[in-house]
Structure 1
Amino acid sequence: MPIHVLRNLGLAGLLAVTTAAHADPIQAQPASPATPPAASAIPAHGVTRFKIGSLEAAALFDGTITIANDGKTFGLGHSPAEVAAVLKTNGLRPDQLELGIQPLLVRSGARVLLFDTGAGDASFARGGHIQASLRAAGVGPAQVTDIFISHAHPDHVGGLLGSGGGLAFPNAAIHLSAPEWAAMRANKDQAALAAAIAPKVIAFAPGAAVLPGLVTAVPVNGHTPGHSAYEIASGPDRLLYIGDSAHHFVISVQKPEWTVEFDGDAPTAQASRRALLRRAADQNLRLYAVHFPYPGVGRVKAQGDGFVWIPETP
């Protein structure tokens, strides 16, 4: 991932979670706290369907990112051997970390909602499959009515434009927080993207009810100037799309205070990450983690001084 872009987007704040607490009645499958389950197999068609109350949802496979365990990205201030020990304990390769890229699709009546857009043709990822996944889900790009951007890092906004530089989703309003939009417009590396999407952008105040009764923004600060998670509601049922509140399903969850290079303000991001995981564990929140093993739906529970990820069985 291009570190110069990530560093340009760093700012701080305090974690603010403004949504009401609702525990989804569907229980995640039990797992051994010491050994999180392995990643689910990625279907050839790139779509895993599930429900949020009465809403139809689907995990869309866009691609993956491989990051070397070299002391430069995850666990800064800790040796690669320390990171490797945690990975090995959980049955993972000790020399690298795998991140998924899975935007979320939600249908609500005439609205077709897309949460983040994947990496596009970014060189740091094996991505760019979101359009194929959408087609497999029975959705054409012109049918998407609303896009919710968690933050402006390239693995989340890379799919906003097509290969010719035009809007990939021509009829969609693009929602992101006002601080994130201001940072994106100020970033010279994203000038062309910002100019292209500007007519479609609807910036919101952090924590706003973006689509009242359906989508509420949840500020999770420290990663970027206006990083937002999103709570998606259907009656009493909730799903919290966490964006980059946590990147890796073992390291970020079991060691939430370990620094990751992608966070603009590491101390604030660490506090935000722990607070979100604590709330999720205490309230049994159902989560959608865009970078966890596909399809990224599950819960966390407390384990020692950290937490453990429990994926939901599709």
Structure 2
Amino acid sequence: MSVSTEDVERAAVRIAGHARRTPLLEAEPGLLLKLETVQHSGSFKARGGFNRALAAREAGDLPEAGLIAASGGNHGLAVAHVARALGLRAEIFVPTVSSPVKVAGLRALEAEVTQTGAIYAEAYEASVKRAAETGALEIHAYDQPDVVAGQGTVGLEVLEQSGGVDTVLVAVGGGGLVAGVTAALGGRARVVAVEPERIPTLNRALAAGGPVRVEVSGVGADALGASLIGRIAYDVTSAAGVESVLVPDEAIVEARHELWRSYRVAAEHAGAAALAALRCGAYTPAPGERVAVIVCGANTDPATLA
């Protein structure tokens, strides 16, 4: 299963006027920060949610039962936002480890929320069962072509806004963002996948020659907590030769504080993971290399930023 550059380009046209075109900040010479922190619902996930729902509407396949999704939090917030923007009902299943900030946000968006299971995979199983009962449109967090293509529009914007970069660093959970960005770039820039050492989902899959389950723990678990990489993500990244690096939780925590301290960017731990790869040496740019870091999410408790 794959997603092409053309798929991402079509998604960009479809979601224009629905998803925000987010800023690209020159943090320092050679380092650009793509601020998906100011996207609708606080993360890049609204892009894929809009693309999936709007594609279904174009095809006449948008059910009266509305939208249903499982999520660590950010995807659910995005689907809830999409549903409200399009006048639809949303039902969201989240694991018990989800941030209280995200659960409160879901309820503020008038979604019906069910907390079940210790990890995302268990919440997902419950959502699939419920979708079969109601007929609602499933919007997968990372493993549907329309979702991946929508997420990839971030990569198109990076190219357009920067005039070209050498490398894009992308945090990985289930892999929808890294797959979409890889497809969007189409070889025009290197993609480096960044994961917490305690959730090496893509890293293990690339080493094993296919998706394998991993244990999920650590500071990024609420947003990067997929225990199995998506099939699309594996197929796209392995075919493209995407480099995978791992970062310790301590580096993620420090990168998150740096984003707030130095740039007043409020990021959750997942949002800081890609920057952590630069700061801890997991990825070292060559002299003169232009690097874009996708700061992918901001759904966090502001009191913990200082």
TM-score (norm 2): 0.36
Structure having the higher helix fraction is: 2
Q: Which has the larger strand fraction?
A: 1
Tell me which of the two structures has the higher relative contact order, counting C-alpha pairs closer than 8 angstroms and 6 or more residues apart: 1
